[in-house]
Every structure is written in C-alpha cells, then in structure tokens.
Amino acid sequence: MSEVEEETAQPPRHWEADVLLRDGRTAHLRPVRPGDGELLVAFYSRVSEESKYFRFFTPMPRLSDRDVQRFITVDHRDRVAMVMEVGGHMIAIGRYDVVEPGQAEVAFLVEDRHQGRGIGQLLLEHLAQAGRENGIERFHAEVLPDNKKMLATFRDAGYRVASDYEDGVMEVEFSIDPTDTSVGVMVSREHRAESASIQHFLHPRSVAVVGASRRQDTIGRALVRNLVTGNFVGRVYAVNPTSEAVSGMPTYPTVNDVPGDVDVAIVAVPADAVQDVVLDCAAKGVHGLVVISSGFAETGEEGRQRQRRLVGLARSYGLRLIGPNALGIINTNPAISLNASLSPLMPPGGRAGFFCQSGALGSAILEKVNNRGLGLSTFVSAGNRADVSGNDLLQFWEEDGDTEVVLLYLESIGNPRKFSRIARRVSLRKPIIAVRSGRTTQGVPMGHAVRQFSAPVQAVDAMFRQAGVIQVDTLDDMFDVAQLLAHQPLPRGRRVAVVGNSDALGLLAADAASEVGLVVSKSVSLGAEAGADDFEDALDAAIDDPDVDAVVAVYIPPLNVSGEDVANVLAAVGEQSDKPLVSSFLGAEGVPELLRVPDVAGRAAGRGSVPSYPGVEAAVRALARVVGYAVWLRTPDGAALDTSDIDLVAARRLIGEALHQNPDGVDLDPEQVSQLLAAYGITVWPEIPVATLEEAEKAGGDLGWDVVLKATAAHLRERPDLAHVWRNIDTREEMRDAWRSLQELITDADAAGFVVQRNAPPGIPVAISSMEDPLFGPVVSFGISGPLTELLGDRSYRIPPIREHDAEAMVREIKSSPMLFGYRGSEAVDVGNVERLILRVAQLQHDLPQVSALDLPLVLAGADDLTVLRATIRLDPVAQSRSDWFARRMPTMPGDTGSG
C-alpha cells in the first residue's frame, strides 16, 4: 500500500469506543489519525524517561519528525495504532505491526500518572480484536525484564503466554484467539470497573447541587432540602452564581469554587447550560453527574442531538452520567443516608435495590415501597438512560452487602446480550425481579436510545428465563414477589399447604395453585372460630410435614375480633420457619405492622416477617414465581456440547471464501450448506432438483430408489395436506405415476421446484433455526414443523451458548411437545437426538456470527433416527456484531461510532 493509500485508509467505525477504566472513570479509545502529531508530541513530553526507555530500549528524550510520522501513519490492517484520550489529551498509545503472515508485534506506552488504571489491558483487548478482524493469529512482544507492569499486562490477560529470555530481553508470544480464561479475565475487569463507577455515586462523601435556588418551588431547592432532611452524612454544597444562600447554606458560583472535594454533582439547570456544568465538574475532579434537567432526547431530534453531545463530553472528561431527565438516587444505609432525588419521601431501609428508568414513575414507586413496608437499600432513577444503565447497577449490586434482592423497572434494554450475561451471574447469588414495559408492543419511550432487534418477543422472554430473572407483568406483581423474597426463605419445591379459617378462600387458594403449577399437598380448614392456638398447632404441623415446601395462611377474622393474637402466632412461626410462609391476613397488603419481625439493622421489616396479600390468588402467584426461581437455582446446567469433532477451521475457511466472493452477503448453495453443517457433525440428506420426468427417473435410479418426489416452493411446502409429496417410489413406472399426479394436483407445476430425495424413516417433523440478531447476537429456536404450529407461535428460544439443560427445556416447553413423547399411543421420539442437534446448531451460531440465518425446516425425529431433510444458510458480513464480546466498550446511542 502506498503512502497516499495509507493516509486515506479508513478504520472500521466500531474501533472507536468509550471505555471504562479500573477506577470507574471513562476514557475515549480510537484509531490513530494523520493529524495526531501534536497530540503525540505533547503526550510524549509528559512521559517519564524510564517509561520511554522501557518502550524503546534506549534513551529517547524526544520524538523526531520522522518518528512522529511513523507512529501516526498506519493502514489499519498490517499496521494498527490505538490512542486513548481524556479531556482531549492523549494518555496512552498502543500498536501492532505485522512481522509475518498471521503474526504481529505489539507494544504500548502509557503516561506515568495514568499507569495502574488498567489502560494497558484495554489497549491489548482492542488491538487483539482488531487483529482478529484482520486475520492476525498471534501477538509477539519484546519486553525488558525490569518492565514488570508490561509483563504483568501480558501474563494477566488470560491468554496462553510463552516467554523466552534472549540478549537481555524477554520475548513474549501468545495466540490472540479468545479462550475461556481470557474472556473470563475481561468480564472480571469489566465487573470491577462498572461496580466502581456506581460506588462513587451511591457512597459519596460530598454532593454539590448545581442550580440550587432560594425560590420555594424550584427543583434545585427541593434537591437541597431532600439531602438535608434525609440526614446525608457527607457535605452538601449549593452552587448558584446568583444566590448568596440557599436554605441557610452558603452558595458558590461554580463547582470549581467549592472549597472541598466534590464526589457527585446533582444538576438541575436548563438543558442548554448542562454542558458548561460538565466542563466545570471535570475541572474540579467530580466523579459523576446526576442530571435531573429535562429537555434532551425525550423532546425530539434536537434534544436527542443535545443528549448525544452531553454524553460524549462527559465521557471524554472521564465522568459518568445518570440521566438526563432523572428523578435522582437514594441510599438508605445509615452510614450514608443519601436522598439526592426529587422525592421528599426517603424510603425505609430494606434489602432491595431498585433501578427505574422512568423518572415520572419514580415518586409513585417510592410511595408504593413505603406503603408496603418493603424497604430499599438503594434506588436509582436513570431517566433517559443515556449512560448509566441497569447493567451497571447489576454489577454494583452483585457484591453490595446491603442488597439481597434486585428490582428492575425497564422501559428498554440497550444491550440485551450483556444484560443476559450479567443477570445470569447475579441471579446465582441474588434474585432479580423485572418489569419490562412495552413487552408486547416493543414500544420504546422517547429519550431511550435502542437499536432495533429482529428477534421475536418470545426470544426476549426466553433470555430472561435463561438468566434466572423473575419477569412479572406489573409493579404490583413485582412488589408481591419482592416482599416474599426479602423476608422469607426459598422453597425447596412446589408442594404447598393451605391453612386457614375460611373454606371458600381455601378452595380459591387450591385453584390458584393448580393454575400456576403448584401442588396442594395439604389443606387444613380450622373453621371460622379458630383462634391463635389452633393456627399455631396447624402451622407447626404443616411446616414439620416433609411433604410440604411452603405454607399459605388465610385469616379472615370473625366480627369484632382484631386478630392480634393470630398475627403474633404468624410472626413467631414465620421467624423460626425454614420454609416460606405467606398470608392473606385481614386483606392487608405488604408487611403489616402486626406481622413484622424487628430487624437488628433497623430496616423496615426483618427476615422472617410474614408478607400479606389482599387476595389469596396474589399470594399464590407470588409464591409460584419464587418457586420457579428456586427450581432454576437448583437445576444443574448439564454438560456443554463435546466439540472435539467440530472442524471450526474448515467452517471459517468456507465462510471466508464465500464472503470474499460475495462481500455483501450470500445464500449458500446446497453443497456449501452441506459442507458447513458437516463441519459441525450435522448431515443433510441430499436433494436432487428435477425439472422433467426424465431427470426425476434418473435421480431415482442414482439414489437407488425408495425415494420421494416433492415440491419445495414455499407456498406448497406449508400445505398441511402434504399434497406436494409422493412417497415410496421404487420404480420408473411409480415415478411416472407420481410425476403425473403431482403435475395435475399442483397449479403452476413449472414453479413447484420439484426435487427427488431418499425416503426417510418415519418420524415427527421438527424445525430448528438460528439467527444473528444485531443486539442479541446468536438466537436459536425449536418447534414442531408445520404451518399450524408456526401460526400459533409454538416455538422455544434460547441465547447461545447453551448447555444440555437448555436444550432439554427447549424441547419440553413448547405446547406441542407431547407429540414427541408418545402422544395418544404413538411411538416416542428419541429426544436425546433432537437435543444434541439443537446443541450443535447453537454452537455453530455461537461460533460463526457471519451466519445471519440458518434454517433446518424439516427434520424427521424418530424412535431411533434423526434425519435432516432440508437446510438453508445465509451469510452476511458482521464485522462489529460481537465486538464487545472480546473487548470492553461502553454503549453508544444509535448512529454514533462504537458498539453498544
């Protein structure tokens, strides 16, 4: 490539990204540009002599003009360089240069005062990703033995590193193909960085309210008042250039004028003034911004552009941002006591962390929490969710000692693939309950930047189930489940005892339990006159019964009876029981005062408090959802697919050749489809296209007869009467009869797409498909083949990678699954074969993102055989589809560079 071509070569857009450093602050990473010479010289002047020596193995106090040109002149293929910036200043540069086909030499230089922030690891991740996209297989580096930080960067990356010592230099070499270890290292670093960024918000030592005002009806004054009356233990600073005092507190013209450190700034100024506040906060060294101000993406395209500039500016200076259009943040921990929100109501302390995207609903949610006596550990209203998202809060709550239950109100999901990965990990430690608005309409509120996805809504639901998330329909359902998880132990199974003084409510409970998959193993009716002693004996007996996993208590008091004695019994039993106890007590909602157990931490209701529901059906529904989570938690994943017989190299070679010839995408021909599937151990029976009777006769002879003649046109394949297929053809005469009959049955026979194929063993027709979704990445689905099940949407979905348990669940959760298990006396299918085929398709889709669509529309599953009769595959270039799998990057608004 000539120098002119090098100067005009453009890197892929997704190589540019905002990234999160180890300390929770942000930086901007991008390919080097031809005009970066001055930035590079200024950067180099700030680097210590020792760091320069470690990089070049010789004293090199300054860069010559030739050196500068060498560093900034790249072709983005064989020579790739990435720079990292904060506040417009270059703080690091890394590059690789190809030294031989498939191998490149890699090196970094990080400004000394930014060393130790994980910058080297980030540069390595992104250079390795760029290298993989350019066909690089191995990285090589020469490092001085005293350069321990650089050696640690390579050794800690999770790759299999080989090193050698020669002529006083350590030579390091490793394959950049992602391994389970390297991906695990990246995910661990991502978790620590994102958790640290939220820690700064929810555990601040000082808060500045920008826009604080003396006027009673202003947002700024309300924020100051709520911070002070909420007994925030840190310092509160009021910032307003035109006021002398707010609520008796001195004011400062700018954040930079505040005499002490400022951890978090709460911003309540007009939208067009927020960017100036960002610059002011950046100069002060503020960690993060909570932007209450509206007037951004929720107002339309102009506001959307303003929001994009706001996020870019904040991140470029290392700041994270909650909002805009947010309600604020709350931490009820007495050691923090932070109410940096517009809600005058500080919720009681509790075990649940709540993330809410809607600022408008935030106050109503906090009031509901208070009325139910649930209590929260922390609360974050993200508004337009321009930067900080539910994924960030999940990273923080995973190890937060104050949070035992996670509540999410989601109006959109910016990165479902990442959400699925994080939520699955968190769910193993703490239950997650989620309400997802727009679930059926897929509507997205104004202000929320979400890329479109093509996967059906059932795939989203499957993602939640797969990750162990308890998905509910309404906020009331969320609180019903949360109060049970926050105060009672998990059930061991689905067997329920109903104890009560009302036969009618006992029957309602039994009906409700049957409807949601619970089994009433014991029902005790104590009669309307039952007292506290009767309840105590019955509850103790039910809890001691080995055939009972949970207890539902129903108490409707007789006239002129308070029920206090029964309440004391319920509270005492609930506190001591190792099985969950729920109640419909006096028709109360939440955790009534009478049923609370004191909490030593001073929170609203202690462990063992008995939640009450206004209707027994609500109690049973909440219990069923908790049972589902408990079952998920105890269900082993099973083994992963044995990939020893998969030829990944051959598969990638075939895809590479096909896309090289068709760079805009291509539908593979039958031979290519067979070869690609064969690389994954999947055999497709060949079809021979025929246009004339003579061709059909020849095809039958070539296949050794016992063949079928069938039409493959889409409008004919879906006919339930199978009038497009003629089976069991053994001779030329039978082929002539079949050809003549189908020609008469089918209108426009010339367009029927006739093929001849060997006659398959009998079986149930099933269909397995996969796709590459722009947001989800790989998605795999399963169902019984045919138009009726397709019309009813009777398909199951999973997000690869999947394991044995996922494949087993996919086969069994479709409504038509009885057809595979001997329905009405038919022969049962060997479902193990079906599950293994699902696993292989899922593995292929997981490994090969260029496969945009794979369809096995007709697979015959028999008692002993599994026959794949048809298959189609579509390839498309997907350079950035999964770039965030192996290199950390922060989400961006659609239309920006980078990947979310």
pLDDT tens track for 649-684: 999 999 999 999 999 999 999 999 999 999 999 999
Task: Give residue 893's pLDDT.
Answer: 56
Size of the chain, expressed as the number of residues it contains: 900
**What is the share, in percent, of the chain residues with pLDDT greater than 70?**
93
**b/e burial code for range 399-437 (CB count within 10 A of at least 16 → b):** ebebbbbbbbbbbbbbbbbbbbbbbbbbbeebbbbbbbb
pLDDT per residue over 349-358, tens digit each?
999 999 998 7
Q: Is the predicted pLDDT of residue 85 greater than 50, yes or no?
A: yes
pTM recorded for the entire structure: 0.89
Residue 112: band (very low, low, confident or very high) from pLDDT cuts 50, 70, 90: very high
**What is the share, in percent, of the chain residues with pLDDT greater than 90?**
71
The SS3 of residue 66 is: helix
Q: Is the predicted pLDDT of residue 452 greater than 70, yes or no?
A: no
Task: Give residue 899's pLDDT.
Answer: 32
Q: Is the predicted pLDDT of residue 491 greater than 50, yes or no?
A: yes
Question: How many Å apart are CA 457 and CA 416, to the nearest integer?
Answer: 12
The secondary structure of 498-538 as a DSSP string is EEES-HHHHHHHHHHHHHTT-EEEEEEE--TT--HHHHHHH
For 739, which DSSP code? Answer: H
pLDDT per residue over 421-430, tens digit each?
999 999 999 9
Q: Is the predicted pLDDT of residue 687 greater than 90, yes or no?
A: yes
pLDDT per residue over 594-638, tens digit each?
777 666 554 556 677 888 898 899 999 999 999 999 999 999 888
Non-local CB neighbours of 467 within 8 Å, separated by 6+ positions: 419, 420, 423, 424, 427, 432
Task: Give residue 884's pLDDT.
Answer: 62
Task: Give residue 599's pLDDT.
Answer: 62
Token pair recorded at residue 99: 């030294």
Question: How many Å apart are CA 858 and CA 861, to the nearest integer?
Answer: 10
Helix %, strand %, coil % of the chain (to 5): 40, 25, 40
Task: Give residue 166's pLDDT.
Answer: 80
Q: Is the predicted pLDDT of residue 454 greater than 80, yes or no?
A: no
Average pLDDT for 763-783: 91
Average pLDDT for 375-384: 94
Task: Give residue 364's pLDDT.
Answer: 85
Q: Is the model more confident about 179 or about 196?
A: 196
- Sign of CA pseudo-dihedral 95, 99, 105, 109: negative
Q: Is the predicted pLDDT of residue 450 greater than 90, yes or no?
A: no
Q: Is the model more confident about 877 or about 45?
A: 45
Half-sphere exposure of 385 (CA within 13 A, CB side): 26
Geometric angle at alpha carbon 818, from 631 and 719, rounded to 5°: 130
Non-local CB neighbours of 154 within 8 Å, separated by 6+ positions: 124, 141, 143, 161, 172, 174
Residue 369: band (very low, low, confident or very high) from pLDDT cuts 50, 70, 90: confident
Q: H-helix or E-strand containing 331?
A: strand 328-331
Residue 897: band (very low, low, confident or very high) from pLDDT cuts 50, 70, 90: very low
Task: Give residue 114's pLDDT.
Answer: 97
β-bridge pairing 550-555 and 495-500: parallel
- Closest residue by Cα to residue 767 from 835, 839, 863, 860: 860
- Closest residue by Cα to residue 207 from 311, 306, 322, 316: 322
**b/e burial code for range 529-565 (CB count within 10 A of at least 16 → b):** ebebebbbebbeebbeeeebbbbbbbbbeeeeeebee
Q: Is the predicted pLDDT of residue 578 greater than 50, yes or no?
A: yes
Task: Give residue 745's pLDDT.
Answer: 84
Geometric angle at alpha carbon 488, from 483 and 489, rounded to 5°: 135
pLDDT per residue over 798-825, tens digit each?
999 899 999 999 999 999 999 999 998 8
